[in-house]
């Protein structure tokens, strides 16, 4: 079957090898629900403007729905001669309705059609990602009450730094995923503009109503410039970037939890339903889901690179290169959606190894900063207090004890102004309680943040 796009100008049929090289049906078939919706909106508009009759519009609409059901059921054969999903649907319509079907492509080009389909598809996919991100945030927030009394070391340079509450860690990730959700929402605003009606590149001489199709398809507005619209894939690149940022956040989290689940850290027991075994070492429980979350993030970042390179040298307006936007974009959405789907239950099902965490919590002098700040509060200049506490840490290291186990005499040898009250800021628990500035980790501050997040995620109980 020869493609309906080959007009009378062609002197020979398409070379088979070209058909195989140029087809996109193998990856754009998944756009069929969007293509059908766009075509129905277009047909209704054509009828409203008098280009087809109301009866013809109804026939087209009913037949398009039937074709949609067949595509959904895998009943419509896909053939590379028909190149892409747009041609498959149009050809099926023509096969069934003859000349009535031949009218649908009035005032339309595949250039505005594919752009509209992609905008519809990306909009739905962004909405799904937002829901999945919210579910992951809810999984982190959902742990906060149960883990409220667990203190963990916070790290900088992967060296033990200061103590924080476990929920402070959980909310750190909630914040990252919140920024991702903001980016999703912002990206969606520019996705949600209707391309339909710019036709190939210059618009159309036929009297159409772009606003009608835009409203029908739930778009906020119509794109203002036909030349720009025909070429514009910013919305594809932007969503590719939004997904790459999510991939980066997921990957960092996965890396952290892989480390935390090691014997060396001993912080976390991962749910066994999300782990795999070793074919030779019977004792192994491996964090493969987290490793693959980290590993697959590379694909999503690579896809963004592919998309950037794809468009960078294109002259206005539509160029066939743009067909290549689909595999990387679809892959990024598929990968992120799959990773998010596993991340939420994995977060909910992991257990903190409380005893193992507590047994080593006083290692690493997590309270050194609060001791320094205690001296500052007594009037000592920061640089002097910093130097002095460094000396005390050195002394404690030589004795092999935490700061809280240095005798008052030893402490006073370094800082004569100290008295017994100093022990009230030593030790991880006292130090955590001391970090009270806005956004910090004291139990009161964290409780405020947890409460605010419960409200934000609509889970206040």
Contact positions toward ligand ARG, by CB under 6 A?
A: 24, 28, 84, 110-111, 114, 318, 320, 322-323
Q: Which is nearer to ligand ARG, 219 or 318 (CB)?
A: 318
Q: How far is the CB of 203 from ligand ARG (least distance, A)?
A: 16
Nearer to ligand ARG, 83 or 238 (CB): 83
State the Cα–Cα distance between residues 376 and 391, nearest whole angstrom: 16
Active site residue 42: no
Nearer to ligand ARG, 108 or 183 (CB): 108
Closest approach of Cβ 318 to ligand ARG, in Å? Answer: 6
Torsion of CA 58, 63, 64, 68, to 10 degrees: 140
Give yes or no for a contact between 151 and 359, defined as CB atoms under 8 angstroms apart. Answer: no
Residue 287, token pair as written in the block: 């964090």
Q: Which of 26, 221, 278, 407 is catalytic?
A: 278
Q: How far is the CB of 208 from ligand ARG (least distance, A)?
A: 19
Q: Exposure pattern of 417-433 as b/e (b: 16+ CB <10 Å)? A: ebeeebbebbbbebbbb
Asked if 136 contacts 176 with a C-beta cutoff of 8 angstroms, the reply is no
The Cα–Cα gap between 368 and 402 comes to: 10
Cα distance between residue 75 and residue 357, in whole Å:
57
Q: Which candidate in 12, 157, 205, 437 is catalytic? A: 157
Phi–psi pair at 315, nearest 5 degrees: -75, 160
Of 380, 384, 385, give the one whose Cα is nearest residue 369. 385
The residue (of 276 and 319) whose beta carbon lies closer to ligand ARG is: 319
Distance of alpha carbon 286 from alpha carbon 281, whole angstroms? 11
Is-catalytic flag, 278? yes
**Distances in Å between the alpha carbon of 366 and those of 150, 151, 242, 322?**
15, 11, 36, 54
Nearest distance, CB of residue 296 and ligand ARG, angstroms: 25
Q: Which of 200, 185, 199, 191 is nearest to 221 (CA)?
A: 191
Kindly tell me which of 43 and 329 has the beta carbon lying closer to ligand ARG. Answer: 329
Token pair recorded at residue 184? 């999703």
Distance, CA of 295 to CA of 336 (rounded, Å) = 12
Interatomic CA distance for residues 350 and 173, integer angstroms = 15
Cβ closest to ligand ARG, residue 28 vs residue 373: 28
Please give the Cα distance from 244 to 282 (Å, whole number): 36
Q: Which residues are catalytic?
A: 157, 278
């Amino acid at each position: 079957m020869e493609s309906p796009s080959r007009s009378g100008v062609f002197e020979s049929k398409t070379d088979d090898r070209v058909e195989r090289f140029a087809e996109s049906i193998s990856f754009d078939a998944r756009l069929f629900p969007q293509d059908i919706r766009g075509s129905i909106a277009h047909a209704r508009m054509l009828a409203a403007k008098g280009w087809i009759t109301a009866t013809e519009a109804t026939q087209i609409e009913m037949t398009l729905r039937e074709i949609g059901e067949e595509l959904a059921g895998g009943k419509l054969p896909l053939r590379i001669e028909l190149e892409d999903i747009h041609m498959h649907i149009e050809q099926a319509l023509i096969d069934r309705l003859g000349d009535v079907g031949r009218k649908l492509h009035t005032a339309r080009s595949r250039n505005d059609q594919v752009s509209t389909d992609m905008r519809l598809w990306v909009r739905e996919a962004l909405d799904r990602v937002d829901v999945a991100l919210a579910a992951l945030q809810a999984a982190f927030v959902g742990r906060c009450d149960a883990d409220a009394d667990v203190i963990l070391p916070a790290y900088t340079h992967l060296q033990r730094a200061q103590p924080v509450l476990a929920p402070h860690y959980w909310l750190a990730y909630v914040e990252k995923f919140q920024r991702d959700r903001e980016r999703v929402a912002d990206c969606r605003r520019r996705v949600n503009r209707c391309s339909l009606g710019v036709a190939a590149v210059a618009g159309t001489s036929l009297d159409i109503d772009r606003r009608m199709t835009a409203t029908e398809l739930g778009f906020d507005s119509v794109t203002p410039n036909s030349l720009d619209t025909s070429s514009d894939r910013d919305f594809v690149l932007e969503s590719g970037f939004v997904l790459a940022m999510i991939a980066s956040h997921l990957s960092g989290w996965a890396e952290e939890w892989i480390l935390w689940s090691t014997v060396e850290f001993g912080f976390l027991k991962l749910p066994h339903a999300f782990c795999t075994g070793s074919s030779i070492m019977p004792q192994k429980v491996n964090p493969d889901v987290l490793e693959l979350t980290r590993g697959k993030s590379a694909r999503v970042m690579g896809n963004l690179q592919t998309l950037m390179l794809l468009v960078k040298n294109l002259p206005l307006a539509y160029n066939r290169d743009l067909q290549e936007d689909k595999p990387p974009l679809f892959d990024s959405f598929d990968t992120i959606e799959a990773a998010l789907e596993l991340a939420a239950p994995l977060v909910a099902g992991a257990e903190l190894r409380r005893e193992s965490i507590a047994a080593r919590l006083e290692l690493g002098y997590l309270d050194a900063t609060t001791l320094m700040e205690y001296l500052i509060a007594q009037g000592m200049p920061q640089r002097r207090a910093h130097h002095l506490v460094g000396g005390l840490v050195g002394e404690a290291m030589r004795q092999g004890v935490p700061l809280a186990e240095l005798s008052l005499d030893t402490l006073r040898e370094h800082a004569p102004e100290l008295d017994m009250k100093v022990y009230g800021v030593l030790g991880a628990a006292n130090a955590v309680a001391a970090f009270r500035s806005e956004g910090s980790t004291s139990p009161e501050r964290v409780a405020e943040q947890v409460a605010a997040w419960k409200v934000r995620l609509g889970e206040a109980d």
